[in-house]
A and B are shown apart, each in its own frame.
Chain A
Amino acid sequence: MRPVIHLISLLGILGLSLAGITGCGEKRIHVSTVSGTPGEETSSSASATDTSGLLATSVEESPLTGQTSLPAEAQADAVQPVAPVEPLQVAQEPSMPAYTDESFMKEPLSEIPSEVDFAPAVVEDTGSLEPSTNGKDILSQSSSSTMNGLPRDEAEASPFSAQAAFQDDLSSPQVGMEPVRESFQVAKAEPSDILRQQLDKIKEEELATASAGLEDVFFQFDSWSLTAEAKDSLERDLAWLTTSPASQLVIEGHADQRGTQAYNMVLGKRRAMAIRDYLSQLGVDPSRLFVISYGKDKPFCQDTTEVCYQLNRRGHLLVQN
Chain B
Amino acid sequence: MMKKVLQPLYSILILVVLGVASLLPASLRGEEADLKATRSEFQKIPIWVMGFSPVQRDAGLSEHMQSQVASVLKADLTRSQIFSVAELPPAKGEFSENKCMSLSSTLAQNYQKVTVSTWGRIGVGGTSTGVQGLILDACAFDPGQQDVLTGKRYFSLKTTETLIRLMAHRWADELVYRYTGEQGIARTKIAFVGQKDNGRELFVMDYDGYDPQQVTADGYLNLMPTWAPDRKTLIYTAYRDRKQQIMRRELATGREEVLVPPTSLNITASFTPDGKSITYAAAQDGNSDIYQIELDSRSVKQLTSHNSADLSPSWSPDGRHLAFTSDRGGRPQIYIMDADGSNVRRLTYDGDYNAAPAWSPKGDLIVYVCRIPNEGFKLCRISPNGEQRKQITNGQSIDDSPSWAPNGRHIVFSSIRKGQSQLYIITSEGAGLEKISLAGEHLSSPSWSPFQP
Contacts and interface: CB of A to CB of B under 8 A. Distances in A.
A185 B153 contact: no
A148 B125 CA distance: 13
B57 to A, nearest CB: 6
A195 B453 contact: no
| Majority DSSP secondary structure for residues of A touching B | loop
Interface stretch (B36-44, B161-169, B294-302, B384-392): B161-169
Contact of A297 (B221, B241, B317, B318): B221
B26 interface: yes
A217 B213 CA distance: 38
B27 to A, nearest CB: 9
Q: Which of B9, B155, B184, B444: most chain A Cβ within 10 A?
A: B155
Given A187-B251, A196-B219, A259-B353, A87 B419 contact: no
Interface residues on A, range: 35 or more
Given A17-B9, A176-B152, A290 B177 contact: no
Interface string A103-117: 100010000110010
Contacts of B149: 32-33, 173-174
B253 interface: yes
Given A186-B214, A198-B241, A292-B242, 20 more contacts: A17-B9, A25-B1, A31-B145, A40-B173, A160-B135, A162-B129, A174-B151, A176-B152, A179-B155, A182-B163, A184-B189, A186-B215, A186-B252, A189-B217, A261-B223, A262-B224, A262-B268, A263-B327, A263-B332, A293-B265
A147 B130 contact: yes
12 contacts: A37-B183, A39-B183, A87-B20, A159-B97, A160-B129, A162-B135, A169-B99, A177-B153, A189-B216, A263-B355, A269-B264, A291-B264
Given A13-B16, A259-B353, A178 B183 contact: no
Nearest to A146: B130
B179 A33 contact: yes
Interface residues of B, number: 127
The 5 closest A-B pairs by CB, nearest first: A187-B254, A189-B217, A148-B130, A87-B23, A186-B213
Interface string A93-131: 101110100010001000011001010000000000000
A180 interface: yes
B204 interface: yes
Contact of B219 (A20, A25, A195, A272): A195
Interface string A148-169: 1010001101111111111101
A171 to B, nearest CB: 5
B81 interface: no
A168 to B, nearest CB: 8
Contacts of A67: none
Interface of B: 1, 5, 8-9, 11-13, 15-16, 19-20, 22-26, 55, 57, 95, 97-102, 123, 125-126, 128-132, 134-137, 145, 147-158, 160, 162-163, 166-167, 170, 173-174, 177-179, 181, 183-184, 189, 200-201, 204, 213-221, 223-224, 239-244, 250-254, 264-265, 267-268, 281, 283, 285, 287-288, 309, 311-312, 317-318, 325, 327, 332, 353, 355-356, 369, 371, 376-377, 398, 400-401, 416, 418-419, 421, 442, 444-445, 451-453
A199 B219 contact: yes
B325 A262 contact: yes
A280 to B, nearest CB: 12
A258 interface: yes
Contact of A37 (B19, B178, B317, B401): B178
A260 B99 contact: no
Contacts of B311: 262-263, 265-266
A266 B287 contact: yes
Contact of A40 (B174, B218, B453): B174
A289 B445 CA distance: 30
A83 interface: no
Contacts of A182: 160, 162-163, 166
